[in-house]
């Protein structure tokens, strides 16, 4: 291998070792306030009204926390949520359910916009009516996922 390539690989792996890999593979999203429904619909190809049917939450440890024998309380969480599709508001979607895989925990700002307490993410999502939108899917990931909590 060329020395420059080896140096580049060493920098990438070294960066991962020091910064960890928290959030890698998680599904990020943009939160919208309920009054922003029209903005959400106008900015996406597919818009769905869904109800959260449940899911499970797991810790989103970084690499250092994973290697630690005394793993501390996790600082962040990720969830798998199963959503029941009630209505297709825009675009095409033919499935009855939708799985959000490793949805990243909402930040304080996102919780404030959604109008939900931070603890909402940890299991009290059952029965929550949501409006979600996205611009495409690749595998279990959604491109430009946006979420609103419906009243």
Ranges assigned E (strand) in 33-145: 46-59, 77-90, 97-104, 129-134, 136-138, 141-143
The predicted-structure confidence for 56-108, as pLDDT tens digits, reads as follows 777 776 666 655 656 667 777 788 888 999 999 999 999 999 988 888 888 88
The residue ranges of every structural domain in the chain are 3-149
CB-CB neighbours of 5 under 10 Å: 9
Cα–Cα distance for residue pair 37/144, rounded to 1 Å = 15
Name the residue among 122, 141, 111, 129 with its Cα closest to residue 33: 111
**Of residues 151 and 38, more confidently modeled:** 38
CB distance 77 to 71 below 8 Å: no
51 with 85: CB under 8 angstroms? Answer: no
What value does the mean pLDDT take over residues 118-132? 76
* Residue 65 vs residue 128, higher pLDDT: 128
Distance of CA 131 to the CA centre of its chain: 14
**What is the model's pLDDT at position 2?**
61
**Contacts of 19-23 spanning 24+ positions with Cβ under 8 A:** 19/62, 20/61, 20/62, 20/63, 20/64, 20/65, 21/62, 21/63, 22/60, 22/61, 22/62, 22/63, 22/65, 22/75, 22/76, 23/60, 23/76, 23/104
CATH 2.60.40 for domain 3-149, yes or no, is: no
4-13, 25-34, 71-80, 87-96: segment of lowest average pLDDT: 4-13
pLDDT band at residue 16 using 50, 70 and 90 as cut-offs: very low
Q: What is the pLDDT of residue 23?
A: 46
The model's pTM is 0.74
Which pLDDT score, from 0 to 100, does residue 116 have? 81
Q: Which two tokens stand for residue 16?
A: 């991962």
């Amino acid at each position: 291998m060329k020395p420059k390539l080896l140096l580049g690989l060493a920098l990438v792996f070294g960066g991962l070792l020091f910064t960890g890999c928290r959030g890698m593979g998680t599904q990020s999203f943009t939160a919208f306030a309920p009054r922003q429904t029209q903005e959400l619909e106008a900015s996406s190809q597919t818009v769905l009204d869904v109800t959260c049917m449940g899911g499970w939450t797991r810790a989103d440890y970084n690499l250092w926390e994973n290697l630690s024998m005394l793993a501390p309380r996790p600082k962040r969480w990720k969830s798998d949520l199963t959503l029941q599709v009630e209505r297709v508001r825009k675009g095409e979607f033919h499935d009855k359910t939708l799985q959000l895989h490793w949805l990243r925990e909402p930040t304080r700002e996102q919780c404030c916009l959604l109008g939900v307490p931070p603890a909402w993410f940890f299991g009290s999502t059952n029965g929550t009516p949501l409006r979600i939108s996205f611009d495409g899917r690749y595998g279990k990931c959604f491109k430009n996922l946006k979420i609103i909590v419906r009243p």
